[in-house]
Structure 1
Amino acid sequence: MEITSLDQLDPNATYSYADYLKWRIDERIELIKGKIFKMSPAPATRHQLHVGEIYRRLSNHLYRNSCKVFISPFDVRLTPLKKSDSSKIYTVVQPDICVVCNPAKIDSKGCIGAPDLIVEVLSPGNTDKEMKEKFEIYEENGVKEYWLVEPDHHIVLVYKLNETGKFIGLKPFTESEILTSEVVEGFEVLVKDIFDV
């Protein structure tokens, strides 16, 4: 039976990336540890402006670079680093923006493995998911740097993976500060410029 609606799926079941590829569902979804998470149908204008500005700046900075920047929708398939059998994929997410510096991770379906940098712009419908579920999976899958952009307060929260595989939060970057990245060498942006679009 062809799956064309979320109503046809069991919300308590565990699904894999192989299942995900067979579905013909119009709604945007992500799989997190085999569970279905419905994404907001269309992000608000403000959300898209912030995503677009960060993407534009990263893309310009990485022009002709081995690191590549991608914007949602773009499938990122993750398997935990500490799992012995990673042949089955149960997590497929679509971050707002991701930077991948290892070309071997990029294929025709998106990215397999952790991007080096993930940027998520918070909005009322996604805050809980980004702050808890995605934080945990990005950490356990080895994302080196994770930015949470908070439009209501005009701040960016930056988490960097330490040598023990745990995210360490830096102090919030406010509008008057320059945001830099350890994984995207030489990149910097005045936080105010992200929000003044």
Structure 2
Amino acid sequence: MPLPKESHYTLADVLSWEEPDRVELIDGAPVMMAPPSRAHQEILTELTRQLANYLEGKQCRVYPAPFAVRLFERPGDRPEDVRTLVEPDISVVCDRDKLDEVGCKGAPDLIIEILSPSSLRHDRLTKYNLYQRAGVREYWIVDPSARSIQSFVLESGHYTAKDLGTPGDVLKVHVLDGCFIDLSKVFPEAGV
């Protein structure tokens, strides 16, 4: 569905569209999202599986895209007040009061974005800064072409690079005590 010809949109606009495309709102400006590749989806599935296995029986929940995150929504905000809406590839939310029928209101504890050629700048710059400003405690950037994951942890309001994991490594999830991700399963050998 083509977007109406307006310059700024809100959550209310997105919810009113009969056939919404995958779109994010950054301060009211729409950003269209391309369909993910097969490799992207395989990585997303494996990361979600490992996180879900770890979180079984725990307070936190993992949500793969599409999952609406309204980073800056405050109590009492109406849909027409919400001008920033993102759909991270993976979100982990530990405060269940942030969850509603639409998705997450406020910052998840962990967000993972899987790069694609069309999202490099958006994920590495725009979303990095948004997530930092919103208070997302940990942010992972997955680079399928480099077969690597870089993790950033929020310290004193700014992200600090923590780890760079590659195939064969086990990567620590800093905001989930005792959670480690086996990257040999995220980036299996070619042909496996």
Taking structure 2 as the reference length, the TM-score comes to: 0.90
Q: Report the Cα offset of residue 171 of structure 1.
A: 4.2
Q: Report the Cα offset of residue 15 of structure 1.
A: 1.7
Matched residue, 1:191: 183
Q: Which amino acid aligns with 1:5?
A: P
Matched residue, 1:133: 126
Matched residue, 1:63: 56
Matched residue, 2:23: 29
Q: Does the aligned pair in 1 maintain the 2:73–2:82 contact within 8 Å? A: no
Matched residue, 1:9: 5
The yes-or-no answer on 1:106 pairing with 2:117 is: no
Distance 1:25 1:186 in 2: 41
Q: Report the Cα offset of residue 55 of structure 1.
A: 0.2
Distance 2:16 2:180 in 1: 40
Q: Does the aligned pair in 2 maintain the 1:80–1:141 contact within 8 Å? A: no
Matched residue, 1:39: 33
Matched residue, 1:168: 160
Q: Which amino acid aligns with 2:9?
A: Y
Aligned pair count reads: 186
Unpaired runs of 5+ residues, structure 2, are none
Unpaired runs of 5+ residues, structure 1, are none
The yes-or-no answer on 1:158 pairing with 2:151 is: yes
Secondary structure of the equivalent of 2:31? strand
Secondary structure of the equivalent of 1:176? coil
Q: Which amino acid aligns with 1:192?
A: S
Secondary structure of the equivalent of 2:67? coil
Q: Report the Cα offset of residue 38 of structure 1.
A: 0.2
Alignment partner for residue 52 of structure 1, among 42, 45, 48?
Answer: 45
Q: Which amino acid aligns with 1:95?
A: P
Q: Which amino acid aligns with 2:8?
A: T
Distance 1:109 1:146 in 2: 22
Distance 2:173 2:98 in 1: 20
Q: Which amino acid aligns with 2:132?
A: E
Q: Report the Cα offset of residue 65 of structure 1.
A: 1.1
Per-residue CA deviations over 1:39-63 (Å, capped at 9, x if unaligned) read 00x2110100000000000001101
Distance 1:176 1:49 in 2: 17
Secondary structure of the equivalent of 1:139? helix
Cα RMSD over matched residues?
Answer: 1.8
Secondary structure of the equivalent of 1:111? strand
Per-residue CA deviations over 1:81-108 (Å, capped at 9, x if unaligned) read 9xxx976221111111000000000011
Taking structure 1 as the reference length, the TM-score comes to: 0.88
